Structure 1
Amino acid sequence: MAKVKTQYVCQNCGYNSPKYLGRCPNCGAWNQMVEEVASAPQTKSANVVTGTIAKAERLNDVDIVKEPRVTTQLGEFNRVLGGGIVIGSLVLIGGDPGIGKSTLLLQVSGQLAQNGKVLYVSGEESASQIKLRADRLDVNGDSLYIYPETDMQNIRQTIDEMQPDFLIIDSIQTMNEPALNSVVGSVSQVREITAELMKIAKSKLITTFIVGHVTKEGAIAGPKILEHMVDTVLYFEGDMDHAYRILRSVKNRFGSTNEIGIFEMQSGGLSEVANPSEVFLEERLKNATGSAIVASMEGTRPILVEIQSLITPTLFGNAKRTASGLDYQRVSLIMAVLEKRANLMLQNQDAYLKATGGVKLNEPAIDLAMAMSIASSYKDMGISPTDCFIGEIGLTGEVRRVNRIEQRVNEAAKLGFKRIFVPNNNLARWDAPKSVEVVGVKTLNETLKKVF
């Protein structure tokens, strides 16, 4: 009898080692090496991406075929996917537990059942549990099939028998490939099952959605190759204490990345938010200090968000810096520039900054609004509620040019803002709307003098 060959695989990054290691030499994680049976590589005649036998051909002879798409009744969901669901694509959706991933996919499944046959494979809930949620969400349809199963061999057989148009896997970490001698959810299991689902999606033109668990750092659990294999990677984000949810695209082979869709969790399920800027600003106090509005770009969409700051004298030796929805390093940088270039004594002040609405802002154009918010709280002087700020701040105190200034200004003008501060270098190549006063500024000090 041949000796069984084993190897140790890191559950964090997928690194292989012939012997046990306490610390993975590739990613540095401790106690993540798990013993697994090494299986011989299988030869595949068909290409995993296309599902057919590929051949080399000249670039000029390649025909461009537009991908057929299916649109749902959720416009925000269609926007994030680039205009609709591409037939035969493999989509990975990740998010925190209880954030609403299964709710979103069940609603989408009910709408897709109007266009074809949907097979919803659940490894976490029974059919009766899914039925209870479907009744609450008012989801029904004769073409929607629920299949509580985790064995990939049975799932493949059911797919061959039913020939569905759409396939939902909830979740990939609960699926089990019997041919692999490793625990459910391990790196080898997730990798092989995803490759099998990719082959099914491409060869049979079955649009497949995969739900993935996330780690405590917020990344999708399992090897990073999981995100490289699929066509689209979506993150479903939000605060459990707030009703708003954000669907964010970080990879899309059939559309632009960094698009977001905004939903509101209600008793009857998720409803899309058509005008997120108005939602984020509806609870703003008019005469509050430490509040500034920025027109930030999320993909191709401009969104107006309120940045709030609270500057208070520190009671201890070292000043405290706290940021929610903003990059901590960017907050420290802006405060250092304000202290050096604008003579604001912030080294003995505690600073608490927040982007309201649960949105995460991390682009250079938010610098000017962040600086005005900090200065407003420090000086205890309010900013006009009809002022909006757009611009990047350099370390020497200059206000630098940003992209898509026309879309940002038009969005602010649409919501009733009267004065918009923009980098002076952005005024050269476009005509500002007549309904607003666009103020070009060159430096941070110039902006402070015009505002306060």
Structure 2
Amino acid sequence: MTMADKTIYTCSECGHTEPKWLGRCPDCSNWNTFVESTNRLKKNVTAARTGNAHGRSVPVAIPLHKIESTQALRMDSGIQELNRVLGGGGGGGGEPGSAGIMRGASVLVAGEPGIGKSTLMLMIASHADTKGRVLYVTGEESPEQIAMRARRTGTQSTQIEILAETDVDSVITALDTMKPSIVIVDSIQTLKKSELGMVAGTVNQMKFCAQELIDWTKLHNTALFLVGHVTKEGLIAGPKVIEHMVDTVLQFEQADQDLRFLRSSKNRFGSVDEIGIFRMEENGLVQPDDTESLFLEKRQSDLPAGIVVAPIYEGSRVILLEIQSLVVPVRGGTSRVYSDRIDARVVWKAQAVLEKHCSLDFNSYDMYVNVAGGLSIREVGIELPLVLSLFSARTGVAFPSHAAVTGEVSLAGEIRNVRHLEKRIKTARELGFSLMVGPLAGTQVASRELKYEGVSNVQEAVKKAFSGHCTNQ
């Protein structure tokens, strides 16, 4: 044995190495986790990546202006909502529904168990506009189980090939043989490298296996989708470094009942503001056609007190939804805020503005705030609708059912402009609303179908919306 093949012992749980075997790992304190290996592994990996048997190569730099960057590098996933989130439509500079999958890119998709990650992967494998082959690597389900789901969801395709394998070396061998255009790994937590131990899902196993797959797909200009698990806190399971390694990180979230939201927390090829909306039905995931009015309740009577309709801007489209507030006498010593769809700090700010500028008392009341449909809102255009919703809930005066409202609220009670105001007004008009309250900038958008009331402060907004006024004028 040469010095290059010196024996080392690696902890299968944390990856800590020692020159001799130990019963207990000094890093993670686990017992009997050291596995014998040689440092030949690093040499072989380097040689495989460089194509040089000695692990050496001559680096070649490419002038930046000679590197082509065109939309031809993308391929259509066949799923409009996914294209939008990946940057092919709206947020990426292209038209909504255009090609979204970037060739050579790696995408990490994470979500709760049973939310529909595997179903979404089958839809990508079946609908993607590619002339090449699609390899679906499964480590959690048998090929028969995947075939049953494909038949049930109508995602069967002759271009899909299933590989039930958990050894990353065998997967790389299959990739070298097939040369697929899309690779799907379900899931990254099931892959392992034998030299790093026989337990999959450890920190070192996940980092090494992910890096091997990412390197191969970039070298062969192949799109890679990695399915990931989440912890009970909702965070992506495994080392944070994997999120840095991949090009895009997608979170698959469940809203109320059957709705699913696909969000991007990182995207090197597009915007992270876009969201994809799906509905889980008996035959799989379906893309709703009426996303603008999907979250509106069709009522035969007037709105109850505490409900306000607001047009919000998500990525490249406007969605109208209901802000719901409930104000009840406190049952303890101090008032509390219950809000999981809107940041509680934004609710506290709205309460403070109402107390200061409208002389409403909230100190002895608990506040419950909700967004119909379960969509989490982060944009500032929700602030004025939230203020009017709390005012309505506190006073018992209902908001007009034919009206919508948008705007940012400053601490001084002023109404500030919001982005894409004209598009919000247009969407509200198309959905049949006849009145809209918002920043003064919107008064320039003339329309016979919709009356726009521009306001400069909270007092004016209350007066225009409720045909009344604050007590503190």
Say how many residue pairs are matched.
430
Provide the residue aligned with 1:441 in structure 2: 455
CA deviation profile, 1:62-88 (whole Å, cap 9, x unmatched):
444444222133211221122221222
Structure-to-structure mapping, 1:16-27, within 5 angstroms: 19-20=26-27
Match of 2:85 in 1: 80
Query: For residue 261 of structure 2, what is the aligned residue in structure 1?
Result: 246
2:136 maps to 1:131: no
Matched, 1:280 2:295: yes
- Taking the aligned partners of 2:142 and 2:62, their CA distance within structure 1 comes to 48
**For the residues of structure 2 that align with 1:300 and 1:117, how far apart are their CA atoms?**
32
TM-fit CA distance, 1:324: 3.1
Shift of residue 422, structure 1, vs aligned partner: 1.5
Q: Look up the SS of the partner of 2:110 in the other structure.
A: strand
Alpha-carbon separation, structure 2, partners of 1:441 and 1:112: 48
Deviations 1:263-313 (A, max 9, x none): 111111111012212111034563311101111111122111111011111
Q: Which deviations, in whole Å up to 9, do the C-alpha atoms of 1:17-68 show, x marking residues without a partner?
A: x94379xxxxxxxx9xx98989675574758xxxx97633554454444442
- Which residue of 2 is the match for residue 26 of structure 1? none
Which residue identity lines up with residue 432 of structure 2 in the other structure?
Answer: G
Match of 1:178 in 2: 194
Is 1:226 matched with 2:230?
no
> Gaps (5+ residues) in structure 1?
12-17, 23-30
Query: What's the offset of the Cα at 1:208?
Result: 1.2
1:37/1:182 contact within 8 Å kept: no
Residue from 103, 115, 120 that aligns with 1:99: 115
Structure 1 position 256 matched with structure 2 position 271: yes
Corresponding residue number in structure 2 for 1:289: 305
Pairwise mapping of residues 327-342 of structure 1 onto structure 2 (< 5 A)?
327-342=343-358
Give the AA of the match of 2:186: D
Amino acid at match of 1:69: R
Q: Is the 2:14–2:27 contact (alpha carbons within 8 Å) kept by the matching residues of 1?
A: no
Q: Indicate if the aligned counterparts of 1:9 and 1:36 stay in contact, CA closer than 8 A.
A: no
Q: Tell me the CA shift for residue 231 of structure 1.
A: 1.6
**1:449 aligned partner, one-letter code:** K
Q: Which residue number in structure 1 is paired with residue 404 of structure 2? A: 388
1:331: Cα distance to partner? 1.2
CA distance in 2, matches of 1:95, 1:76: 17
Question: Corresponding residue for 2:331?
Answer: 315
- Cα contact 1:92–1:232 (8 A) shared by 2: yes
CA change 1:41–1:339 in 2 (3 A) is: farther
Q: Does 1:4 align with 2:4?
A: no
Alpha-carbon distance in structure 2 between the residues aligned to 1:124 and 1:187: 19
**Could you tell me how far apart the structure 2 residues matched to 1:414 and 1:103 are?**
34
Between the aligned partners of 2:302 and 2:253, the Cα distance in structure 1 is 29
TM-aligned CA distance change 1:218 to 1:436, over 3 Å:
same
1:188-203 correspondence to structure 2 within 5 Å: 188-203=204-219
Q: Note the alpha carbon deviations across 1:173-210, whole angstroms, 9 max, x for none.
A: 11111122373111111111111111111111221111
Distance 2:13 2:415 in 1: 50
- Matched residues in 1 for 2:188 and 2:144: separation? 21
Tell me which amino acid in the other structure corresponds to 2:146.
I
Q: Report the Cα distance in structure 1 between the residues aligned to 2:259 and 2:335, rounded to whole angstroms.
A: 33
AA aligned to 2:286 is S
Aligned residue runs from structure 1 range 319-398, under 5 A: 319-398=335-414
Aligned to 2:95: none
The answer as to whether partners of 1:182 and 1:188 remain within 8 angstroms in 2 is no
- Aligned residues of 2:436 and 2:453 also touching (Cα < 8 A): yes
The amino acid of 2:101's aligned partner reads I
| Contact 2:137–2:185 under 8 Å retained in 1 | yes
Q: Secondary structure at the match of 2:349?
A: helix
Question: Is contact 1:406–1:432 with CA below 8 Å preserved after alignment?
Answer: no
For the residue of structure 1 that corresponds to 2:251, the secondary structure is: strand
Gaps of 5+ in 2: 16-24, 51-56, 89-99, 467-473
Question: Cα–Cα, structure 1 residues 351 and 53, in superposed 2: closer, same or farther, change >3 Å?
Answer: farther
Change in CA separation of 1:60 and 1:68 when aligned onto 2, cut-off 3 Å: closer
Displacement after TM superposition at 1:378 (Å): 0.9
Residues 441, 41 of structure 1: alpha-carbon distance in 2 compared, 3 angstrom cutoff: farther
Deviation at 1:323, TM superposition (A): 0.8
TM-score of the superposed pair, with normalisation by structure 2: 0.84
- Partner of 1:357, secondary structure, is coil
Task: Look up the SS of the partner of 2:433 in the other structure.
Answer: coil
Correspondence 1:413 to 2:429: yes
Q: Distance in 1 between matches of 2:392 and 2:147?
A: 52
Equivalent position to 1:153, from 169, 183, 189:
169
Retained in 2: the 8 A contact 1:122–1:149? yes
Q: CA RMSD, aligned part only?
A: 2.8
Corresponding residue number in structure 1 for 2:127:
111
Q: How does 1:208-223 map onto structure 2 within 5 Å?
A: 208-223=224-239
Alignment correspondent of 1:70: 75
Q: Distance in 2 between matches of 1:44 and 1:245?
A: 42
Q: How much has 1:364 moved relative to structure 2?
A: 1.2
**Take 1:433 and 1:198, find their aligned partners in 2: how far apart are those partners?**
52
- 2:464 counterpart of 1:450: yes
Percent identical: 38
List per-residue Cα deviations over 1:333-373 (Å, max 9, x = no partner). 21122122221111111111101111000111100001111
- In structure 2, the residue matched to 1:55 is 60
Conservation of the 8 A alpha-carbon contact between 2:75 and 2:129 = no
User: Structure 1 residues 63 and 118, CA, compared in 2 at 3 Å: closer, same or farther?
Assistant: closer
Instruction: Return the letter of the residue paired with 1:446.
Output: E
Q: Distance in 1 between matches of 2:10 and 2:138?
A: 31
